[in-house]
Structure 1
């Protein structure tokens, strides 16, 4: 007599489980790369320490430059964790065949983007927490209070979202990670110089202010200045106010534009690859 044994059906993992696994992979890969950790996570902290020690002067009515600089360096840190990080890492994974390999697996393609978004979120939160701690403990920076924390949260969220989407879109313009770094890093540095990160925005030439206003970094830095600086300094902004409504509108429009560009340009493999 012969017997047959039925193989039990193997249950597929849930979508949430796949998302968690992919997010864990992205975080492990990021923190194993020392260059990425130093450049993305520690570089803004180093800048804060250096500028805070060298340029800790009074810009008026007892407000120090370090207090002013805190908003800009947080905005720059968010830009690095999102736009620069995404553009370089995705371009690298496309050129070395990682994306092509992932696209050929049963993993839902959405899991890849969820993993990247979680990575940006975790790194961004770490950057913000470290910068706030160093600023408050080492340089006496006054932290936001009350409803300012809500403003801080939505400005950082919209800014990070828009820059993440732009980073994913920009990654398709580069051939590999090196070319992406060579392309994105100079642009990011220029934007930081003209967007009120390293200098008071009122000291930036008017034509540079106009150029900066076309990009999300300027609006992110302006929104964050509103939570770190007293209201009388709003008079030094181009419009004489913090323009929080316009900050939300511009960053929201950049989120939409970034999403459209992602859908239109994203590729799982290099052009011409069979």
Structure 2
């Protein structure tokens, strides 16, 4: 009687996750365009706008101190939603996703790798921007409990934008079309969400549109860390609304997860 051939056993799930995370990190940092767009662009914007818009917004607060929280939020948006949507759409188009789906690797490992890559690049861009703001513009680092607010705003914002990036990737037919579709939307959100201008100076209807999306709430949460409470009066509700910031970002995490489950595809349309 012929012995039944046994399938080779897979490595432990933790080892598979670590390996996939390492692959994602190596692939990201080998792509110069992704690194420059995700990490260098926010720094360039901070340096340029910080040099040009050198004025006092009130109470002796320079505009750079107001601008830094917004650019921190925009940096998270770039390394999570934008980069995630474009990279997944590209991997779907070139057959990478189809190939991975046909391997013994658990499909969850693919998403774990992506999440680790986003977390690593989020930490990197936040550290770089904090250092640039401190060294070149004298914007102090958060202190005391402000670090806790900084951490949960960054974590919730990155989670929400990452899940949205995974979901949005399915709307694009190719990686190139994903870039053309996502980048303009991200730029518009930055302009209406209090990144480049004081949010109170933006028309009311634009404020209403911005309030639907995570970027506005991330920027507002970060402003609560960097600005005195007296300037909270300039916010639409007259306060930082940190409770609402947490609720909105949390709801976007839930909505993003549901959209991922409903829309994610391993192959382009027409090839399933």
TM value normalised by structure 1: 0.96
CA distance in 2, matches of 1:271, 1:52: 44
SS at match of 1:240: coil
After TM superposition, the score normalised by the length of structure 2 is 0.97
Residue segments in structure 1 that go unaligned for 5+ positions in a row: 1-6
CA separation of 1:94/1:64 partners in 2, compared to 1, >3 Å: closer, same or farther? Answer: same
| Residue matched to 1:235 | 233
Mind listing any 5+ residue stretches in structure 2 that lack a counterpart?
none
Matching residue within 241, 256, 260 for 2:258:
260
Looking at structure 2, the residues matched to 238 and 156 of structure 1 have their Cα atoms a distance apart, in angstroms, of 22
Partner residue in 1 for 2:222? 224
Determine the C-alpha separation between the residues in 2 that align with 1:78 and 1:18. Answer: 27
User: Of the two, which has the highest radius of gyration?
Assistant: 1
RMSD of aligned residue pairs (Cα, Å): 1.2
Q: How does 1:86-125 map to 2 (within 5 A)?
A: 86-125=84-123
Shift of 1:55: 1.0
2:242 maps to which of 228, 241, 244: 244
* 1:61 Cα deviation after fit: 1.3
Residue of structure 1 equivalent to 2:171: 173
Once residues 255 and 156 of structure 1 are traced to their aligned partners in structure 2, the CA distance between those partners, rounded to angstroms, is 13
Displacement of 1:8 after TM fit? 11
Report the Cα offset of residue 272 of structure 1. 1.1
1:22 paired residue number: 20
Q: Provide the rounded CA distance (Å) in 1 between the counterparts of 2:49 and 2:68.
A: 10
Which one of 51, 55, 58 corresponds to residue 56 of structure 2? 58
C-alpha distance in structure 2 between counterparts of 1:26 and 1:142, whole Å: 33
After TM superposition, which residue ranges in structure 1, 4 or more long, deviate above 2 angstroms? 7-12
Aligned length: 268
Out of 43, 46, 56, the residue aligned to residue 45 of structure 1 is 43
C-alpha separation in 1, matches of 2:89 and 2:97: 9
Which of 135, 145, 149 pairs up with 2:147?
A: 149
Task: Report the alpha carbon displacement of residue 10 of structure 1 after superposing the two structures with TM.
Answer: 5.4
> Aligned residue for 2:30?
32
CA–CA distance in 2 between the matches of 1:189 and 1:46?
A: 15
